[in-house]
Structures are given as structure tokens and as C-alpha cells.
Structure 1
């Protein structure tokens, strides 16, 4: 006779943490409560699922009362082969059901340990985990809220992180299920069902070397109550100008006045522009039907106004009289002012259509950018007067009127619409297939004109009609006993096209496989073929000329002040991409929510649109028409508009180690942690919905010490994430007939060379309201070879190491302190130090000297910046 033992638990903890309980249960009937961090995919098959949600969709909302109590069972059924354990659990509402394992998960206590003020700051803090190593796209992740696509990042960038119940980071392949290309990782943010908070924050930053100040002020209101949520925020930022004089920048030969009393151009040449920005953002999401089970719609609107002012030095003139000469400078800087006004709006709708998930998002924007640039004064009259003896070359200069202002205006209108339909069309022995259809239309119109350009008004319009089909097929399954001996294997196939009104049709397709031989180990392989078009900015940005720009001339082995032309290049062509990715992820057995991942990438691209590279002799030979020299061979002008490279190939490995744990108290201790509650004991107070009873508005136990916040870990919580990129090859052929360049061995095209190794790391400690966070990035040294001609020199770019520190105190968690000073309730004070070690890259030539164009102040103008951040939540 077979016996059945059942263990009730709350969704949210690894089975390894339950091992002692399960072992005891095999000896006799036991009912116990445990805290979980992961659940088996079998949960998606559990009775009570909402209308059979598809595998790629968010899990259905479960009954709140049941969720607050036991959320599943562990059933032990002995068989002739031994005792099988079948796990059934309700998934966390909004959690994704995909074969790929999360790269990292964060619960509300993990998020509290970062001490950040918004989801935007949180995503930046965990960028080592969310960044893609594929080398395509913007590098930022695809953002989901409660397992659903959003109209834009604006919807949730200003939401307080205390409102997050759970955050998951997933591999790039998951993006295909939501209609995106597989070049970005996926971040799924699951919000608490109830949360209400108003926030007010202020920040002041200043470099330890002085020179400028930065002020920030932000306020917001966010509320979520079941299927309804809204968020309103406003932010103002102001930064003063930083000039070359304030960093003691050495001036180029021939650019400094030789007559005492003339103004110094260094005082009127900016390293960092003075800028200010005001942003207003509002979002509302409303569920449809009872508890939002019939779908939801979202509206968003935002306005941003920004102004940037920079200086390009002074008008200078060389006066010659009777064989003597003097360099003179006229007063008033050559100024550039850029004003931008941006209007944005979004609309989203999602619902279940039977067993299929339908989602449509629309996002529109209109941006007006006005650039005013001072023209250089006409100094020919001064030259003639000095040569005729009518003007002393070292005397007072007469007034020279300004030459006016060149005006460049750009207007850009965008509309992005995407609809996806995802479901499970048929069943296979290893599970249900998942099918996603995506259709979209993107529209962009850019109109620009410049009074200094001979081309007049330039108007570019692009319509992009796109479609994509993605099919995921489970081939084997351990839980379903379908060739389970080999593990779980899922095949993923996708194909799509983009018809661009200005470029024709672009095609893309991909094939990938995920293999999980065990619960803790998984492998991924994918091959991606895509065609890409240049952006409209690369094609049609207004033509702008900037004077007195420092450019290092490898041919002459000197730094020159030249006139630089920037803007769009309408002759660019489409790019062809071929990428291979091989990856493996291992969940470590000795620490909870800790893993080791390794990824190999090989990219090949043809006809690549790139920004104009560093002016090496090879580049000048390939793009001779972009370089202007005088009769003596001196560089006087450079056209830096985008160019097309013939071919690029690269290969690299990126591996990462994510570790986390707790020490003492009631953090995530137990197996895999250090300290914490004994195995099988009472649940620790952290995750929303993880325990029984009424747990307050955020789903966390007891009344929160900070309104709208979670309980946070009791004891010390720590984490460390390290990601290392090792580049094996990076080769470029910039044009046919030009030798291929090895960027890793001195033949680089970028101003800083290409380092072979790079490391990203972030980690910290959080204990009883006090936190310490450190984020660091390191790049290995690199070289750029000279021409080999007499007088030419190689350049060595030293390693860079930038560490950012945040130390904070959640004063609202200190009950005794709040009793004495009630105003401190909900307040957090942070001290920040960006570029903590004041690291600035050192660039030297063969003689150990630093060229003027590569002075440290140019590489890192601000240096170390320290600040204080005060935030109060009401």
C-alpha cells in the first residue's frame, strides 16, 4: 500500500532549503511551512490557473487569501523505483514560465540593500547582471512589468523600488517571446499588489577638484491597488560649466595669446557643458473586469525640457608687422547653445483571448532641438591694419563686431506600435509548444536645416513594417518522462522581416536550443542572422561645424586645433550581421540564489555604419576626402560624419559569478546562507506573500518601519557580482583594398584603443538599515600604433579603473530614533562618491609624454565627484 505525505509551503524558496524537511517527511506524515525562492514549472499546470495562461506569459493572479497562506503542496509518492517527489505550487503572479533559468533574481530585501531611489537607479546599479555580452543593440535590457510588455521605460523608471515584490533577470533569448530581437537581456519586475507612497528627494554633487556644481530635486507619487496603479513624478537637474582653465589644461602651441592682458582661451573652452533639465512623467494602469482578469490598459505622458551651453574658445588672430608677430585673442567666447523640448505619450492594452495572451503597445514622441552656434569673427581687417602699421600688434585692439549665429533646427516625430499574440497551440510529449506572433509599425520623420549648410532643409522619413514568428518546442522533459534521461531540451526557432520605406526589406532569423540536464545546470546555443539599417540620426542629423577641436594627428605626430564637421551621411548602406552564442549557467549548491555563468560570442558584420574613427594613416587613406590639410600638410579640418566599414569580426568570452548570502538575523540564511533560521523552521520575514496572515500593504510582514517599504533583512545581507570579458579577436577591414586591422594589437580605430580584458563588478552589505554599495569597472591597457614613419609614435592607453561608492542609512528603520525625531520616519540619507579613486586614464607616446589631445582632463574632466542624497517617503 502506497502512502502519500503532503507538505504545505509558501511560494518562494529553493527545494534545497526543504531537503531536511523532505527527508523527515519520508519517515512519516509531516505538515510544515517553509519559505521558497523557486518553484518547479509544474506549477503552471496547477489547477486554478487563470484561463490557461501560455508559457511565455505571466502567471495568473492567484487568490489573495490562498496566496497569503499555503500556496502549494509537496506530494511524496513512493514507486517501485523509490520515492518520487512531485511539487505543485501557485506561481508568483507575474512570474515568467520559460525554459531559460534566470541569470539573477532579487526579492524585496535584496532590493532594499541597494539603497536607490527609483527603478531607474536600480537598473543602473545592477548593470553587470542586466548588460548583454552579445555586443548588439543599446545594451539596456527589455523591461517587463508583471510579465507584460510596457509602452516604454518611462512607465516605471520613477517607481519607488520599495514597490517591487520580485525582480528577475533573464537571458537574451527570452526577448524573442515578447517580439524583441535577442540582443538584450530581459528584466521582469513584479510589483506588490498594494503599495502607496509619496517621495521627495534632493541631491547635491561636486568634484573634489572643484569647478562645477550639480543639483537634483525630484518628487513623485505612486500607488498600486490590485489591478490599478498610477505614478506621477517631476525632476529638475542643474549642472554648471567646467572649463579647461579649471583643470589646468595645457594649451596647444600657437593658440595662446602672446600679449599680456589678452584673455586666456582656456577660460572660455568648456570640458563639460552647463546644462539643466526638467522632466515631468505620469502613468496610469487600469485593470478591466473583476480583479483585472479581463485585461488592462495603460496610458503614459511625459515632457522634458533641457538646455546645454558650451564654449569653443575665443577668436584668435596672428598679427605681423615689420617681421614681428603676435597672437591676439578677442573677448567673448564662441558659444553653442542647444535647447531640446520632447513630448512623449504611450498607450498599452493587454488581455487573454481564450488561452492566448494578446498585448499591444503604442509609443509616440515629438522632439524639437535648436542649436545656435556663434560664427567666427572676420579678423582680416586687423591683419591688414597691422601690416600697414596702422595698428600696434601689442596694443589695444579695436572692437570687432560679432559675425552672427548659425542656427540648426531638428524636428523628429516618432511612432512605435507593436502587437503580440502568444499561446500554446499544441501539446508534445515533453510539454506544450509556445508560439508568438508579432506585428509592428514604426514611423520616424526627421526634418533638419542649418543656416551654415549648403544643403538647405533635409527631410527624412522612415516607415518600418515588421513581423516576427517565434516557436519554442520542448523536445525532452524529465518531469514528463519524455526522454528525461537526457534532461530538458527546448528548441527555439524564429523568423522575421522589416520593410523599411527608405531601405527596402530586411530579414532576420534565428535558431537556438536550451538544454538543462539537471535543475542546477543549463546550456544555451543560438545562431542569429540579421540585417540592420543605419539610424536616421546617422543619415540625416543637421550639418554642424565646431571650431578649435583638439585632434591628434598621427601623420604629423602632433595635436592640432581643427574645424570638425558633424551630422548625417545619406550614403550609408544596410548592415549584415551573423552571430553565434554558446552559454552555460550553473546554480551553485552552496549559496542560495548564486550562480556561475559563461558565454561565448562570435560576431561578424558587413557594411557596418560607424562613427568616424580615430584619424590614423589607414583611416585617412580609406577616407581621404574627409581630411583637409594646408600646403604644409598640417591638419586644418576633419569631416567626422558616420562612415561605412567593409567588415568587422570579433569573438570573446564573458563569464560572471553572482554570490549572495546573509549573516545572522533573519535574512536568507539556512542552507546556502550563513546563519538565519534553522532548516524547516518558521519562515523568515521577507518576501511578499511568503507567509501566513495579513502582511500589510506591501505584502511584507507587520507594519513597515518605512511607509510603503518592506521589512528588510534582520541581520546582515551581502552580495557580490563579477563579470569578466575576454576578447579573443577584434578585426576590421575599413574598405576594400585596405589591409585588415587587428584592434587588439595596436591597429585600433577608437580613441582609447580596444582592451583585451574588461571587468564589471558590484556588491555590498546591508545590515539593520545601514548599507554599503560599491560598483567598479576596469579596462586593461591598450595600444594604438603609429605610422612607422620618422617622427611618428605609438600611443599607449593605460588601464582604467572607476569605482563608485554609496553609503546610506535608512533612518526610518531605527525605531528608537524615529520616536525621538518623528520627522525621520521614511527618510534615507546617502553619501555617494563617483570615481572614488579619482582615476583618470594616462596616455603616453614612445617618449613617455602625454599628447595635448589626450590630457587626463580630456579623458575624465570631472574626476572624483562626491555628493549627498536625502530622500523622504511619506
Structure 2
């Protein structure tokens, strides 16, 4: 008999309880019906149910190894591991919390990483199950149930060559109490000015002869602008009633100010014959660009179980106003009259003759996003549960811009968009369900969405994919995506800004000149059509412990592509002749860099990623973690004084509670004797029943039951967790292995073993990139909580024994197979991998990123490296033109940190250092910059090393304290 059963979405929620088992068979059933086996169970807390396995899993100890100060810093440190290789989105991943979508990343970006229990990273296809498009990877952050901290972080950085500095101050408050969360964060950032004169940059205005008394224009041109910003955020989440539903509210204000210098305005005057010249500088007013912006954001989300569906509603609104003041060049009318009258001397101060003033552009934007998603598993098929996600959404945004350089012209654009979509995942075969198991796990995924947009009509988005779990640990995926995409309102309507004195390399004349550059929107941009294939392999390597290999191939085709104006090559100038102005001598004077449209673009890309991790030093075997954190803990939450939860655990007794706090992580001799009595003097079934009762009591928030003779159960909480199977009950095989060890080993000897050597069997194979430690709760390496075992404690296990270190490594290689662009019909195809270009740096065929780190006994070091292959840009081949050659180069960044809170002698001398961490980072360790040369081997002025990278080798020191 095959019974189709509706799926209870409530069981999948983060806070769900185990379903009640049936009391017995239905008398109405036939004897044949009674032969069926039905398994009941709850989903694991916060985990994502997906046919695609995680690309990367990190437990709290892995996260501590990154030394990040916030979740935003952690996402940044993960880099390419959380970025899509499809090349369609902005690169930032979809963020979920406890398996549920949130209104905006602002909700938790300032959370300290110590609040995370586990993190999962999934491929782009999983994003569709949560109402997103398949151009972003998914990061699921599982938070601890109980956590509280206040933190202050101070940062200071500057290049080794000096010239400017950066400062940051951040204060964060966070409290997590089950489903309720409160977070307050204030941050201030500042960066001082760095000029070209401080780096000795050669200037490009060689057409005007130098005069000894002239000021150096390099001192009035910014390499790094003077900027500052302040941000304040408040986030609040609470449960609604006793149903497990929740609501979240978020509000953020952000202010940004920046000032850039564009050099000095110069005036060249000639007499009637044109044979003599008068030259003057406005030394009092260097050209400058001053920008200010205010950003106001608010968001809300609600999560609720509605029947068999998990429903999430989100709304996010943002208002931004920005002002851009660009100093104008001098009005030369009065200067010409003065020169004709002979009243103007060479190098005169022009302040008495003209007031240049400013050109002001103002841009105001608003955006409102509302989305409703309903996720459920309405039908049980032979291959498993069919997943369905339905979405409905509304988006409104607008932009209004004015520019005094175009008086009377007001750009006012508004857009509304309604959307509806459906994602369906259909399991075909399943090893778990024993249906077609010889074929492995095969599932299909279908996604369709329609958008009704006020300014572009009806747009469509659909995709189809297949996932094949060939064997355990080896998964193949194939996905086809077809999508319509409209230009953003910023691309259509941003105010036009004319910025003077911008250095541009003119490849046609092999020279760097200062020109006026026009930026802004283009209202004539059409909608884009995208057609993409993606094939992927995810393999958990059986011959390297805790490792996984990802291989991906992307084939993207686009029609009517919106792009920023490309690098000015002869081919681009021929395609957009109206965007370029030259004087009578052919010298470039003005360049319109507003957005443009290309007819077609084709990209093929091959990407390989390898993740590895492991432990070193310390004692004995590790406790590999196969289940999720919520399943390993009877209550699904951490404990101990550091985590904000109660000290007492299901094991009961004073000794058992010390496994999570300041005390030892293992039982002492007295407790060990009690354990031997309870384990070895009763039948195994009796002991298992007692432990199951302790687990159930902990899950219901009740006191732990007593053991024989009215004594508390002597088993420590951590040991009890390790005996727990994925069904939330004691696993008989694990119990038998532990019982044999305890009953065959001297109690004192057992109590003295390093943790993990005698307190239970490993909990399954380690995850790729994830850790094996079972540490829960407390403030870990990022914040310097004391945790377990005093001076000997390491966040990666160890208790009172030797510290256990943790290491990880990730390498990602990208090979560009094809990148061609058709600007317009009847124009030759551009091959970006063979000398044509859309950007000022060429298109390298090869790139590699390396990220690795190690943490031991409170000391951490991370190494980030990036290699970029060589490329070139072809000139016209005519006299005066040149080719550009971009050498390959590599940069190495080092991050180090020390958990001062683990240095007992230091904390004893300076108690303030408890809970503190100090870090020291070096970016671009070898001061590497890409070398660019022309056909003669010389470096064009526009590509001087300090113009490519003004920072070079730089350092940053940070101090962070958790209270």
C-alpha cells in the first residue's frame, strides 16, 4: 500500500516539538495496511531541507578560527566560498536565519560571530526555494538559543608608506532568548585624505609649460578621498504567542560624507597673434567634488505556520538623499578682457577676476519591497516529499534628480512591479525511501515567475534543473535559467555629473590626458534577456578527511546588455562616436561615460573549489559532528554561564554542570565512580530509558529525573549529547560503545583522559569545511570568553587537557573559456580574452584565490592570497597607437589575533582584559602592484603603480572586548 501523507510544515520550523506518535493501529485498517512502517520525527532545528548538500558547513569552532568581529566580517572573510560564479548578481549571498528568510541583512550583520551555533552554505539553486533568483548562493545562519553580549571594537589602519589613515569604532549589544532577539549597533568610520603629491605621481597636464612659482597640481589631486560615515541600527525579534510564530523589526540610519580633489584649474590666454601666452592658476580654490548622503531604512518580517505551510512576509523600505557639489572651472570672460588690456600678469591670482562656484546635483531615491512566501511539502511521493514554494510580491521605487549644469531639467522616474512565482521540487528516486535506490537520489526542480512592471511591461523568469546524488557524498547538478531583466532606475535616471580633470588613457594616441568625464543615467536603455546553463559537481572527498570539491561550469548568453561605458579603445570609439570629443589636434577633451547597451554577450567559465579542514595537537580522537547542533543538544540550545543559559544540564549533579562553564569538561573521579555504578550495574535498556527521560525533560524545560537511589544522573551533559541520535533519543550503538569503555576502564584513569578519548564514539564523519568539536555556548575565540578549562582551554576542544588546534584551507580556481561582446550589428565581435576590452584592466583568463587559517590555544593566523593572470588590450595598429600589457600578479594578506582572555597571568594582572582580543593584520604583504606597459615597454601615466593601488602594503590593529 502507498499512502500519500500531507507534510506538517510546523514540524519543519526552528522551534517545533516532536510530533506525538500514534497510540495504535486503526481498527478499520486491513491486515495488509498494518504491514506498513511509518516513521515520525521532527526536522532538525534551523537546518535547510534541500536535495543539494551544503557546499560548506561551519560549526562555532570553525567560525571562531576566522577571528571576525561581526557576521558581516565573517561573510567578507568567506569571500568566494559564498559568492556565485554565475556572474549575474552582485555577489552577495542570500542570508537566512534558522532556515527562514529575513527582511534584510541589516537584521544581523552586526551580530558577533559568537552568537552563531552553525553556518551552512548552499548553491544558487537553493535560493529559489526561498523566493530568490538563482544568482546568489545561500548562507543559512543557525543562532544559539541563548546568548547575550556587549562588545566594543576599535580599529586603526594605515599604509606602511603613511600618508593617510583609517579609524573605526563600533559598539554592539545583543541578547538572544530563544525566539526573541534584541540588537543595537552604532558604528563610526573615518578615512583621511591622500594626494598624488604624497606618492610622487607624475602629472598628465604636460601641455601647459611649468613655471617655477606654480603650485604642484599633484598636491591638489586625491588618490584616497577624505571620507567619514556613521551608522546606527536597531533590530528586534519576538515570538507571537505560544505558536512559534515570530515578528522582526529593523531600523537603520546611515550618513556618508566624502571630499575628493580634482587638481587645479588652469587658464591659458594668448594674444591676437597666438604667439605669446599668459598662464595663471587659481591657487585659492582647487577643484573639488563634495558628496553627502543620508540613508533611512526600516524593515519588518513575520514568520508563521499556516496549516501545513510555513509563511514568511517581509517588507523593506529605504529612502536616500544625496548631494554632489562639483567645483566649476573659472569664468574666463573677465580674464580675456583683462589680458587684452594688458592688466593681467603671468601667474596672477585669479580670485579677483572670477568666482567659479559649484555645479550641484541632487538625487533622491526611495525603494519599497514586499514579498510573501509560503513553503510546504504538500504531497508525499514514492521518492519523498515534494517541496513547493509560492511567492507574491510588490516593489515600488523612484528616483528624482536635478543638476544645475542642466537648469530646468528634472529627472523624475517611478516604477512599480508586481510579481508572482512558483518553485516545485520533485523527488524522483531516493535511497532513504528505498525507491529506485540503485539510481541514487534524483530530484527535479522547476521555477517560474512573472513580473508586471510599469515601465517595461511583462517580464518572465523560469528555470529547470536536476540534482543527482550518485552515491553518498557525490552530487551532480544541471540547471537552465531563462530570465528577463530590466535596467535599474539608477542606470536610467541618475543625475548627470560632469567631473573635470579626470585622467584617462587614450590608447589611440598612447597618452594620458585630463578630460571632463560625464557620468549618470541613460533613459534609453532596453530590457535585457538572459539564457544560462550551469553544471556542477559537489564531491565530499573520501580520501581526504573533512574535505569537499566543487566543480562548476557556466555558460551565459545575454541580449541587450546594460553596461557602464567601457574602456576607450578604437573599437569602442567607433561604436559610440557621439560619446567622445577631441580638439582640432585630435586630443581627447571630453568623454561621456553614461550607461550603454551592447547587442549580445557570451561568457563561458569553469570554476573549481576545494575546501579542507581538520584538527591538530591536543589529545586523542575527535568527536566528529554529523548531526546539527540542535540535534546534539537535548534542548537544542547551549548552556553554561557564558552563553546566558542555565548551568544545570540533563545529566544533573554539580559535576555535570561544569562541562559548559568555568570548570572541567569531563567527570572527576567521584563522578566517574557514580557513572560506572549507573552504567554497569543495570541492564542497558534500563539505563537508556533513564537517559531518554532526561532528554525529554530537558526538551520540555523540566527538571532532570533522578537515577537509582534518588541520586542525580551522573553523566555530563556533553557526554549525553554525544549519545543522542538524530531522532532525539539515545542511540543504542553509541551507548553500547560508551558503556563498554566505562565498564572496562578504571574510573580514575577514565577521568584523566583528554576529552574525546573516552567519552563516547565519534558522531559520524566530519563535514567539509566544518568542524568536529561539540563545543556549545560561551564566548569563543572571537571574543575571549573564558569557556572551559582556564589557561588550557582552546575553542576547539581540549577541556583541562592539551589544547586542540583547528585549521582550514580553501582554494578556488577560475578559468575564463569565452567572453565575447557584440556591440551592435555590422560591428566586429569583441573578444575580451584576446585583446579587446570593456574595462581598463583587460580580462585575465586565469585567477586563483587561497584562504587558509589556523587557531591554537587562543592564537589565530589567517592567510588570504589572490593571483590574477596576465591580459592585454589591443590598440588600433595605426601610427601613434599602442597595445597595453597587464602582467600577472599576486597579493597576500595576513590576519593574526590573540585571545587575551585566555592568558591567565595577564588577566590576573589586568582584569579588564578578560573577554578581550587584539588583532594585527597586514594587507598586500609584499607591496605588490600590477605592472602595465605599452608596446615600447614604458608604463603610461594613467597606469602608474600608485594610481592602480595607492595603499600598497598596509597594516591594521584592532582591539575588541566582549562584556
Distance 1:671 1:712, change over 3 A: closer
Partner of 2:50: 98
**Cα deviation 1:101-154 (Å, max 9, x = unaligned):** 100000000011111100000000001210110011111100000111011010
Measured after TM superposition, the shift of residue 704 of structure 1 is 4.9
- Structure-to-structure mapping, 1:15-34, within 5 angstroms: none
Distance 1:800 1:440, change over 3 A: farther
Task: Provide the rounded CA distance (Å) in 2 between the counterparts of 1:417 and 1:778.
Answer: 41
> What's the secondary structure of 2:471's corresponding residue?
coil
Measured after TM superposition, the shift of residue 196 of structure 1 is 0.3
**Cα deviation 1:281-323 (Å, max 9, x = unaligned):** 0100101223xx4310000000001100111111101244683
Partner of 1:547: 500
Task: Provide the rounded CA distance (Å) in 2 between the counterparts of 1:407 and 1:745.
Answer: 42
Partner of 2:133: 181
- Segments of 5+ residues of structure 2 without an aligned counterpart are 19-37, 627-753, 798-802
> What's the secondary structure of 2:946's corresponding residue?
helix
Partner of 1:705: 786
Partner of 2:230: 278
Partner of 2:416: 463
Measured after TM superposition, the shift of residue 696 of structure 1 is 5.7
Q: Which one of 820, 827, 831 corresponds to residue 909 of structure 2?
A: 820
- Say if 1:670 and 1:679, in contact at 8 Å, map to a contact too: no
- Say if 1:130 and 1:141, in contact at 8 Å, map to a contact too: yes
**Cα deviation 1:180-216 (Å, max 9, x = unaligned):** 0000000000000000000001000111111111110
Q: Which one of 292, 297, 312 corresponds to residue 247 of structure 2?
A: 297
Structure number with larger C-alpha Rg:
2
Partner of 1:720: 809
Task: Provide the rounded CA distance (Å) in 2 between the counterparts of 1:753 and 1:206.
Answer: 29
> What's the secondary structure of 2:46's corresponding residue?
coil
User: Are 1:759 and 2:816 an aligned pair?
Assistant: no
Measured after TM superposition, the shift of residue 396 of structure 1 is 6.2
Partner of 2:750: none
Measured after TM superposition, the shift of residue 800 of structure 1 is 3.3
Task: Provide the rounded CA distance (Å) in 1 between the counterparts of 2:300 and 2:51.
Answer: 30
> What's the secondary structure of 2:912's corresponding residue?
helix
Q: Which one of 185, 191, 203 corresponds to residue 143 of structure 2?
A: 191
Task: Provide the rounded CA distance (Å) in 1 between the counterparts of 2:123 and 2:471.
Answer: 18
Task: Provide the rounded CA distance (Å) in 1 between the counterparts of 2:620 and 2:177.
Answer: 28
> So what's the TM-score if we normalise by structure 1?
0.87
Task: Provide the rounded CA distance (Å) in 2 between the counterparts of 1:833 and 1:88.
Answer: 53
Task: Provide the rounded CA distance (Å) in 2 between the counterparts of 1:750 and 1:312.
Answer: 22
Task: Provide the rounded CA distance (Å) in 1 between the counterparts of 2:883 and 2:588.
Answer: 19
**Cα deviation 1:538-563 (Å, max 9, x = unaligned):** 10000110001111112222112111
> What's the secondary structure of 2:574's corresponding residue?
helix
Task: Provide the rounded CA distance (Å) in 1 between the counterparts of 2:235 and 2:478.
Answer: 38
Task: Provide the rounded CA distance (Å) in 1 between the counterparts of 2:79 and 2:105.
Answer: 15
> So what's the TM-score if we normalise by structure 2?
0.79
Task: Provide the rounded CA distance (Å) in 1 between the counterparts of 2:907 and 2:342.
Answer: 79
User: Are 1:446 and 2:396 an aligned pair?
Assistant: no
- Say if 2:16 and 2:42, in contact at 8 Å, map to a contact too: no
Partner of 1:68: none
Task: Provide the rounded CA distance (Å) in 1 between the counterparts of 2:867 and 2:795.
Answer: 35
Partner of 2:829: 740
**Cα deviation 1:4-36 (Å, max 9, x = unaligned):** xxxxxxxxxxxxxxxxxxxxxxxxxxxxxxxxx
Measured after TM superposition, the shift of residue 329 of structure 1 is 2.0
Task: Provide the rounded CA distance (Å) in 2 between the counterparts of 1:667 and 1:126.
Answer: 30
Q: Which segment is superposed worse, 212-221 or 88-97? A: 88-97
User: Are 1:113 and 2:65 an aligned pair?
Assistant: yes
Higher helix share: 2
Partner of 2:168: 216
Distance 1:90 1:827, change over 3 A: farther
User: Are 1:308 and 2:258 an aligned pair?
Assistant: yes
Task: Provide the rounded CA distance (Å) in 2 between the counterparts of 1:728 and 1:668.
Answer: 45
Task: Provide the rounded CA distance (Å) in 2 between the counterparts of 1:755 and 1:630.
Answer: 34
Distance 1:605 1:324, change over 3 A: same
**Cα deviation 1:613-666 (Å, max 9, x = unaligned):** 011111111111111111222211111000000000010110100010011226
User: Are 1:231 and 2:197 an aligned pair?
Assistant: no
User: Are 1:775 and 2:725 an aligned pair?
Assistant: no
Partner of 1:36: none
Distance 1:365 1:863, change over 3 A: same
Higher strand share: 1
- Say if 2:398 and 2:414, in contact at 8 Å, map to a contact too: yes
- Say if 1:589 and 1:672, in contact at 8 Å, map to a contact too: no
Task: Provide the rounded CA distance (Å) in 1 between the counterparts of 2:343 and 2:54.
Answer: 78
Count of residue correspondences:
798
Partner of 1:83: none
Measured after TM superposition, the shift of residue 349 of structure 1 is 0.2
Task: Provide the rounded CA distance (Å) in 2 between the counterparts of 1:417 and 1:667.
Answer: 53
Task: Provide the rounded CA distance (Å) in 1 between the counterparts of 2:595 and 2:613.
Answer: 44
Distance 1:98 1:666, change over 3 A: farther
Measured after TM superposition, the shift of residue 824 of structure 1 is 0.9
Partner of 1:325: 277
Partner of 2:736: none
Task: Provide the rounded CA distance (Å) in 2 between the counterparts of 1:840 and 1:691.
Answer: 41
> What's the secondary structure of 1:539's corresponding residue?
helix
- Structure-to-structure mapping, 1:48-197, within 5 angstroms: 51-53=8-10, 58=13, 60-62=15-17, 92-197=44-149
- Say if 1:656 and 1:722, in contact at 8 Å, map to a contact too: yes
Task: Provide the rounded CA distance (Å) in 2 between the counterparts of 1:725 and 1:179.
Answer: 28
Task: Provide the rounded CA distance (Å) in 1 between the counterparts of 2:326 and 2:890.
Answer: 36
- Say if 2:549 and 2:608, in contact at 8 Å, map to a contact too: yes
Task: Provide the rounded CA distance (Å) in 2 between the counterparts of 1:501 and 1:219.
Answer: 43
Measured after TM superposition, the shift of residue 821 of structure 1 is 2.1
User: Are 1:613 and 2:702 an aligned pair?
Assistant: no
Partner of 2:527: 574
- Say if 2:603 and 2:820, in contact at 8 Å, map to a contact too: yes
- Say if 1:58 and 1:96, in contact at 8 Å, map to a contact too: no
Q: Which segment is superposed worse, 93-102 or 588-597? A: 588-597
Measured after TM superposition, the shift of residue 817 of structure 1 is 2.8
- Structure-to-structure mapping, 1:199-598, within 5 angstroms: 199-254=151-206, 258-290=210-242, 293-320=243-270, 323-325=275-277, 327-331=279-283, 332-386=285-339, 388-393=341-346, 399-454=352-407, 456-598=409-551
Distance 1:679 1:859, change over 3 A: farther
Task: Provide the rounded CA distance (Å) in 2 between the counterparts of 1:689 and 1:716.
Answer: 11
Measured after TM superposition, the shift of residue 834 of structure 1 is 1.9
Task: Provide the rounded CA distance (Å) in 2 between the counterparts of 1:858 and 1:383.
Answer: 36
Task: Provide the rounded CA distance (Å) in 1 between the counterparts of 2:415 and 2:794.
Answer: 47
Task: Provide the rounded CA distance (Å) in 2 between the counterparts of 1:313 and 1:690.
Answer: 57
Distance 1:441 1:262, change over 3 A: same
Distance 1:607 1:477, change over 3 A: same
Task: Provide the rounded CA distance (Å) in 2 between the counterparts of 1:734 and 1:282.
Answer: 47
Measured after TM superposition, the shift of residue 60 of structure 1 is 4.8
Measured after TM superposition, the shift of residue 52 of structure 1 is 4.2
> What's the secondary structure of 1:425's corresponding residue?
strand
Q: Which segment is superposed worse, 203-212 or 175-184? A: 203-212
- Say if 2:430 and 2:437, in contact at 8 Å, map to a contact too: yes
Measured after TM superposition, the shift of residue 672 of structure 1 is 12
Q: Which segment is superposed worse, 362-371 or 447-456? A: 447-456
- Say if 1:113 and 1:771, in contact at 8 Å, map to a contact too: yes
Distance 1:61 1:590, change over 3 A: farther
> What's the secondary structure of 2:352's corresponding residue?
coil
